[in-house]
A and B are shown apart, each in its own frame.
Chain A
Amino acid sequence: QVQLVQSGSELKKPGASVKVSCKASGYTFTRYAMNWVRQAPGQGLEWMGWIDTNTGNPTYAQGFTGRFVFSLDTSVSTAYLQISSLKAEDTAVYYCGRGDRTGYYDYWGQGTLVTVSS
């Protein structure tokens, strides 16, 4: 069965970096896009962008350029989200979501809580 398993919660200080992983299983990794979605505490869902798992080409939503990097390791069917120069406002749950060819997310990771606090 399809599964997306994300790495565990992180507590980071402002200015540090964090790398969140999303390991896929149960399907051919390179046949589906991988999306990233942010959910700040008590807030709604915010699309961060996506990465083409076939080419490695990332697309970032406005507001997620510069400090945010999507990457892949196709040898282990894993997508990564790296955030640098962390700020308190980056505190959120980050989700990966498998993108169907038309764009909806049919499977989601369980989410990774990133807390930024001094």
Chain B
Amino acid sequence: EIVLTQSPGTLSLSPGERATLSCRASQSVSSNYLAWYQQKRGQAPRLLIYGASSRATGIPDRFSGSGSGTDFTLTISRLEPEDFAVYYCQQYGSSPETFGQGTKVEIK
């Protein structure tokens, strides 16, 4: 099973700042099948990025994904008030699919 470790656990930033979230895999993610989801309190997760770097439909271009192999990054170029949430990475390249433990982006 591939273990995904997200860092940091919590990121305290102000609106307008840049957020950089990390997701490290215990072994290489097949075909870079790595997705990022955003989850706000009381809501279902929402797909942001798939295939490590492809933005999902309707996702603003301030969200970008990068990386390959075992190291992946989600960058939010300028935080908007609605971006404060928990972010999860997921690998779907090998079974069992696994999620990281999440990074909370909170208002500083």
Chain A interface residues (CB < 8 Å from chain B): 35, 44-47, 59, 61-62, 95, 97, 100, 102-111
Contact B44 A104 (CB under 8 A): no
Contact status A102-B46, CB under 8 Å:
no
Contact (Cβ within 8 A) A110 B100:
no
For chain B, residues 47 to 100, give those with C-beta under 8 angstroms from any C-beta of chain A: 47, 50-51, 56-57, 88, 90, 92-93, 95-100
Shortest beta-carbon distance, A51 to chain B, in Å? 14
Contact A102 B96 (CB under 8 A): no
A46 lies within 8 A of B99 (CB): yes
Pairs of residues from A and B, 9 with the lowest C-beta to C-beta distance, nearest first: A103-B92, A108-B44, A104-B35, A104-B50, A45-B99, A47-B97, A61-B96, A44-B102, A44-B101
- B96 contact set on A, CB distance < 8 A: 47, 61-62
User: Closest chain B residue to A105 by CB distance?
Assistant: B47
- Given the interface pairs A47-B96, A61-B96, A62-B96, the reply to whether A110 lies near B101 with Cβ below 8 Å is no
| Cβ 8 A contact of B50, one of A35, A46, A100, A107 | A100
Closest to A61 in B: B96
How many of B's residues come within 8 Å of A, CB to CB? 26
Alpha-carbon separation in the docked complex, A104 to B101 (Å): 17
B93–A95 contact, CB under 8 A? no
Sampled A-B contacts (27; CB under 8 Å): A44-B99, A44-B101, A45-B37, A45-B102, A47-B97, A47-B98, A47-B99, A61-B96, A62-B96, A95-B44, A100-B50, A102-B50, A102-B51, A102-B92, A103-B33, A103-B93, A103-B97, A104-B33, A104-B35, A104-B51, A104-B90, A105-B45, A105-B47, A105-B90, A106-B57, A109-B44, A110-B44
Say how far A4's CB is from chain B's closest CB, in angstroms. Answer: 9
